[in-house]
Amino acid sequence: MNDTRERSTGNGPGNRVDAVRADRTHVASHDPSVSDAVHAGVVEHEDVERGAVESHAAAVAESLGAWWRANARDLPWRFGRATSWGVLVSEVMSQQTQMSRVVPYWTAWMDRWPDARALAAAPKADVITAWGRLGYPRRALRLQECARVVAESCGDVLPRTYEELTALPGIGDYTASAVMSFAYGERIAVIDTNIRRVLSRVLTGVESRGGAASPAERALAARALPRDAASSVLWNQSVMELGALVCTAKAPACDACPVADCCAFLAAGRPGLGERRTRPRQRFAGTDRQVRGIVLDALRHLPPEATTLDRAAARALWKDRAQLDACIASLDDDGLIEMLPDGSLRLPR
Ligand code: SF4
């Protein structure tokens, strides 16, 4: 990508971003009501900043909406085809896993357990087995805990408020916001890694940090959110999709990006691209995650006549005995397996 060429052409990102920045001046000096208020000290700097972000975001939303309509992936929980429970399941499954990998698991899961009550009644072993290779299998048990609360305390109806959703087991800010926006069509800022990265790059020209969302990132997401509910849902979905498909962490495809002409990060020459990850990605081979996965896989794939994995077979799963024992103990602590007195293992009943 030739950033210099992009910035030097008349229609390049610098010009559009400059135009958007000019809106900030416009807000302060050409709207008589705002200008007067600023001079009277009624409107603080923060209000002017808010107007600048809103007008920049509106320009981005215009291009992004058209791109979404032509390019959004046809995932089975989108476009009003899933229940609110189905949307929640899709969000839990895709928290640590790419959405494209989630599709077959979600489809089989919803065929088998279409609502909270059905999942609540399922044997734990079946739930863990059905989670398959989605990773971080504790999520499966937390989802079943959530299903039990919804089935038993909410009449099998997923709550409709953010406060009630975040009170459910395993449901944090992101999942609750996503359900409020994508399932219920409410106006709420959804803040995940992809959205934070795109907003930071496009609106501020700065590479996003990893780790937890900062107050500044939350404020930016709130300011950028369109004011009417339907537009806010489109915004959340399309920004997230852009982050997944185009504006990726390490190799953003700026040449093919629908918002390139109003992206502050591209206009600035993409400073510090990919440098801000606070945690280097952990290699998988040899990690406890791999060993735990091997143990769970062995239990998921026991022959139908076997109910347990005997001690000798368990010990043959991994050559480092200390690591294997620690991983088996941690799986037991997490409720994902059961260790029997004779040293054999099984999935929980
Ligand atoms: S892909 Fe490039 S141009 Fe598009 S939002 Fe990301 S950094 Fe900006």
What CA–CA distance (Å, rounded) separates 249 from 243? Answer: 8
What CA–CA distance (Å, rounded) separates 91 from 102? Answer: 10
Residues labelled as active-site residues: 91
Query: Is the separation of the CB atoms in 198 and 224 below 8 Å?
Result: no
Is ligand 1 within 6 A of the CB of residue 266? yes
Q: Estimate to the nearest angstrom the gap between the alpha carbon of 110 and the chain centroid.
A: 20
How far does residue 101's CA lie from ligand 1's centre (Å)?
Answer: 24
Write the pLDDT tens digit of every residue in 84-114. 999 999 999 998 888 889 999 999 999 999 9
Q: Which residues pair with 346 in a beta bridge?
A: 338
Residue with tokens 């219920």: 184
By alpha-carbon position, which residue is closest to atom 3 of ligand 1? 260
Sign, Cα dihedral of 199, 202, 204, 205:
positive
What CA–CA distance (Å, rounded) separates 294 from 282? Answer: 18
pLDDT at 45 over 90: no
Pull the structure tokens for residue 249.
């962490």
Closest atom, ligand 1, to C-alpha of 246: 1
Query: Is the separation of the CB atoms in 218 and 168 below 8 Å?
Result: no
Which of the pair, 33 or 167, is modelled with greater confidence?
Answer: 167
Among 56, 63, 201, the mutation site with the greatest number of ligand 1 atoms within 8 A of its Cβ is 201
Least confident segment among 47-61, 137-151, 161-175, 201-215 = 47-61
Is ligand 1 within 6 A of the CB of residue 17? no
* Residue 5, amino acid: R
Residue 281 DSSP code: P
What's this model's pTM, rounded to 2 decimal places?
0.79
Is ligand 1 within 6 A of the CB of residue 259? yes
Is ligand 1 within 6 A of the CB of residue 99? no
Residue 90 CB neighbour total at 10 angstroms: 25
Write the pLDDT tens digit of every residue in 292-345. 999 999 999 998 888 899 989 999 999 888 899 889 989 998 899 998 888 899
pLDDT tier, 48 (very low <50, low <70, confident <90, very high otherwise): low
Is ligand 1 within 6 A of the CB of residue 264? no
CA atoms within 13 A on the CB side of 256: 10
Q: Write the CA distances from 204 to 89, 197, 262, integer angstroms.
A: 33, 10, 11
State percent of the chain over pLDDT 90: 65
How far does residue 33's CA lie from ligand 1's centre (Å)?
Answer: 35
**Please, which residues have CB within 8 angstroms of residue 158's CB and are 6 or more apart in sequence?**
83, 84, 85, 88, 116, 150, 165, 179, 183
Write the pLDDT tens digit of every residue in 189-217. 999 999 999 999 999 999 987 788 899 99
Query: Is the separation of the CB atoms in 92 and 139 below 8 Å?
Result: yes
Which of the pair, 222 or 8, is modelled with greater confidence?
Answer: 222
Among 254, 261, 275, the mutation site with the greatest number of ligand 1 atoms within 8 A of its Cβ is 254
Residue with tokens 């416009």: 26
| pLDDT computed for residue 282 by the predictor | 64
Is ligand 1 within 6 A of the CB of residue 52? no
Query: Is the separation of the CB atoms in 59 and 18 below 8 Å?
Result: no
Is ligand 1 within 6 A of the CB of residue 254? yes
How far does residue 186's CA lie from ligand 1's centre (Å)?
Answer: 27
Kindly report the average pLDDT of the chain as a whole number: 85
Closest atom, ligand 1, to C-alpha of 259: 4
| pLDDT computed for residue 99 by the predictor | 86
**Please, which residues have CB within 8 angstroms of residue 235's CB and are 6 or more apart in sequence?**
57, 61, 64, 224, 225, 226
| pLDDT computed for residue 285 by the predictor | 81
Is ligand 1 within 6 A of the CB of residue 299? no
pLDDT tier, 20 (very low <50, low <70, confident <90, very high otherwise): very low
What CA–CA distance (Å, rounded) separates 154 from 131? Answer: 25
CA atoms within 13 A on the CB side of 323: 15
| pLDDT computed for residue 37 by the predictor | 40
Is ligand 1 within 6 A of the CB of residue 43? no
Residue 204 DSSP code: I
Q: Estimate to the nearest angstrom the gap between the alpha carbon of 28 and the chain centroid.
A: 36
Domains of the chain (ranges; CATH) run 3-56 (no CATH), 84-157 (1.10.340.30), 288-346 (1.10.10)
Residue 81 DSSP code: -
Closest atom, ligand 1, to C-alpha of 273: 7
How far does residue 159's CA lie from ligand 1's centre (Å)?
Answer: 36
Query: Is the separation of the CB atoms in 268 and 18 below 8 Å?
Result: no
pLDDT at 38 over 60: no
pLDDT at 259 over 50: yes
| pLDDT computed for residue 277 by the predictor | 59
How far does residue 201's CA lie from ligand 1's centre (Å)?
Answer: 7
By alpha-carbon position, which residue is closest to atom 8 of ligand 1? 263
Among 15, 194, 245, 263, the mutation site with the greatest number of ligand 1 atoms within 8 A of its Cβ is 263
Is ligand 1 within 6 A of the CB of residue 199? no
What CA–CA distance (Å, rounded) separates 308 from 277? Answer: 42
